[in-house]
Chain A
Amino acid sequence: MTARVLVLSLYPCIVFAAMNSPAGPSANPDTPLDRAVKEFKTETEALGIRPGQINSQAGPPTRKLAWHGRVFENFRNDMLDAVPHEIKQRGEDKSLLQRNQFGFNVSGPLIIPKVLSSRSNTFFSLSYEGVRERIARTYLRTVPTLPERLGDFSNTVDQAGNTLPVYDPAATRPNPNYDASQAVSSTNLQYLRDPFPGNKIPSGRIDSVSREALSLYPAPNTNVGPFFQNNLFINSPATNLADGFLGNVDQTFGSKHRLSLDFNLSDGFLGSPRWFSTAANPGAPDRDFQTRKGSVQYVLTVSPKTVETATFKASMNTSRSTTGSDTPFPVYQIDPYVSFGTGFPESRIARNTFDLSDGISTRRGKHSLSLYAEFAQSQVNVFWPQYPSGYYNFSSGLTSLPGIINTGHAFASFLLGDPDYAERTFVTAPSYFRQTSALLSLRDKYEISKEFSITVGVNLNRHGARTEKYDRQSTVDPAAINPANGRPGALVFAGRNGISDGMRPAVYSVSPSASVVWNPGGSSNTVVRADYARSHQQMPIYSGQWATQGFNSREAIISQNNQLTPAVDLDAGLPPLPHALPDLRPDAANGAVADWMDLTGREAVYQSASASIERQLPFSLVVTVGVYYQGGRDLYVGNGSANPNAISPDALAYRDLLNDQSFSASLRPYSQYTSFDLFDLYPAGRYQRDAAYLHVEKRASNGLSVRASYEFGKQLDDYSGPYGIQDLFNRQNDWAQTPYSAPQTLQVSYVYELPIGANKPFLNYSDWRRPLVTGWSISGAAYMDDGSPLALHPAFNNTGGVISGLTVNSVPGVDANVPNPGPDLWFNPAAFDQPPDFTLGTASRTSPTLRNPGNNNFDLSVAKRLQIGLDRSMEFTATGFNFINHGDWNDPDTSIGPASAPNLDAGRIIGSHGGRVIQLGLTFNF
Chain B
Amino acid sequence: MLVCLAPVLFGRRARSNAGSNPTHVSVPVWIDPQPKSLNAEDVVATLNGQSAAISQVLGPSSDLVVLVVLDVTGDISLIDLAKRALISQIDGLPENAWVGLLRAQDGLSVIADPTPDRKAITDAIQALPATGKAGLIDTLVSVAGIADGIERKSHVRVAVLYVTDSSIYNYREDFTNPVINSSDPHDLSRRFPEALIQEKVSNLETQISSDEAPVFVVHLRYRTDRMNQAYQNGLKTLAEFTAGYSLFCRSDAEIPDAIQKAFAYIRSSWFLSLRLPKRVPAAVQVRLKLPQQKDAHVAYRAHLRLKPR
Contacts and interface: CB of A to CB of B under 8 A. Distances in A.
Interface of A: 7-8, 11-12, 14-16, 18-19, 24-25, 31-33, 35-44, 47, 49-51, 54, 68, 70, 74, 76, 99, 101, 103, 105, 107-108, 121, 123, 125, 127-129, 131, 133, 135, 240, 242-246, 248, 250, 252, 255-256, 258, 264, 266, 268-270, 289, 291, 299, 301, 303-307, 317, 361-363, 368, 445, 447, 450-453, 517, 519, 522, 524, 527, 614, 616, 620, 695, 697, 699-701, 703, 705, 707, 749, 751, 753, 758-760, 764-772, 775, 777, 779, 781, 859, 861, 863, 865-867, 870-871, 873, 875, 877, 879, 881, 917, 919, 921, 923, 925
B290 interface: no
A776 B192 CA distance: 15
Given A751-B194, A873-B203, A37 B7 contact: no
6 contacts: A24-B117, A101-B187, A307-B76, A361-B75, A749-B226, A753-B202
Contacts of A875: 195, 199
Contact of B252 (A35, A74, A291, A517): A517
Given A43-B149, A74-B189, A527-B251, A305 B76 contact: yes
B63 interface: yes
A780 to B, nearest CB: 9
A40 B100 contact: yes
Contact of B131 (A258, A317, A779): A258
Contact of B154 (A32, A245, A769, A917): A32
B17 to A, nearest CB: 12
Interface string B285-309: 1000000000000000001010000
B130 A307 contact: yes
A873 B120 CA distance: 42
Contact of A32 (B63, B182, B189): B63
Contacts of A258: 106, 131-132
B254 A768 contact: no
A299 B131 contact: yes
A445 to B, nearest CB: 5
B61 interface: no
B184 A105 contact: no
Interface stretch (B27-35, B37-45, B108-116, B262-270): B108-116
B10 A37 contact: no
A650 to B, nearest CB: 47
Contacts of A11: 111, 123-124, 127-128
Contact of B98 (A33, A50, A299, A317): A33
B202 A775 contact: yes
Given A19-B120, A33-B96, A258-B106, A759 B184 contact: no
B123 A252 contact: no
Contacts of A695: 224
Contacts of B195: 779, 861, 863, 875, 877
A524 B253 contact: yes
Given A304-B130, A766-B283, A873 B199 contact: yes
B205 interface: yes
Contacts of A242: 181, 183-184
B229 interface: yes
**Contact-residue bracket for chain B:** 35 or more
A307 B131 contact: yes
B14 A766 contact: yes
B202 A304 contact: no
Of listed A105, A758, A859, residue having the most chain B CB within 10 A:
A758
A59 to B, nearest CB: 12
Given A43-B149, A301-B129, A268 B112 contact: no
A7 to B, nearest CB: 5
Interface of B: 2-3, 6-7, 9-11, 13-14, 48, 63, 65, 67, 75-77, 80, 96, 98, 100-102, 106-117, 119-121, 123-124, 126-133, 142, 145-146, 149-150, 153-156, 158, 172-174, 178, 180-189, 191-192, 194-196, 198-199, 202-203, 205-207, 209, 224, 226, 229-230, 232-234, 236-237, 240-241, 249-254, 256-258, 281-283, 285, 303, 305
Given A25-B115, A107-B172, A871-B207, A766 B281 contact: yes
A36 B10 contact: no
Contact of A865 (B14, B132, B150, B199): B199
A881 B192 CA distance: 11
Contacts of B6: 768-769, 771-772
A770 B181 contact: no
Contacts of A248: 172
Given A44-B110, A123-B172, A240 B186 contact: yes
Contact of A614 (B9, B96, B250): B250
A185 B47 CA distance: 96
A20 B300 CA distance: 36
B226 A707 contact: yes
Given A304-B127, A363-B76, A368-B77, 6 more contacts: A18-B117, A31-B63, A270-B183, A519-B253, A919-B188, A921-B189
Contact of A759 (B67, B76, B186, B303): B303
Given A32-B155, A759-B303, A877-B195, A368 B76 contact: yes
Contact of B150 (A36, A519, A771, A772): A36
Contact of B241 (A255, A705, A759): A759
Nearest to A109: B107
Contacts of A767: 7, 11, 14, 281
A49 B129 contact: no
Nearest to B151: A36
Contacts of A450: 253, 256
Contacts of A51: 109-110
Given A33-B114, A68-B173, A771-B9, A255 B183 contact: no
B192 A781 contact: yes
B263 to A, nearest CB: 15
Nearest to A519: B253
Contacts of A703: 237
Nearest to A47: B142
Nearest to B205: A759
Contacts of A291: 182-183
Nearest to A522: B253
B243 to A, nearest CB: 12
Nearest to A705: B233
A265 to B, nearest CB: 9
Nearest to A881: B188
B140 to A, nearest CB: 12
Contacts of B258: 524
B76 A362 contact: yes
A34 to B, nearest CB: 8
A14 B180 CA distance: 46
A770 B180 contact: no
Nearest to A76: B188
Contacts of A33: 63, 65, 96, 98, 114, 116, 154, 156
Q: Which of B14, B106, B128 has the most CB of A within 10 A?
A: B106
B252 A49 contact: no
A15 B111 contact: yes
Given A524-B253, A865-B199, A252 B108 contact: no
A699 B209 CA distance: 22
A699 B108 contact: no
Contacts of A245: 180
B146 A40 contact: yes
The 5 closest A-B pairs by CB, nearest first: A268-B183, A766-B281, A368-B77, A242-B181, A700-B233
Contacts of B181: 129, 131, 242-244, 266, 268
A97 to B, nearest CB: 9
Contacts of A14: 120, 123-124
A44 B111 CA distance: 11
B191 A39 contact: no
B98 A37 contact: yes
Contacts of B115: 18-19, 24-25, 37
A865 B2 CA distance: 12
Nearest to A293: B182
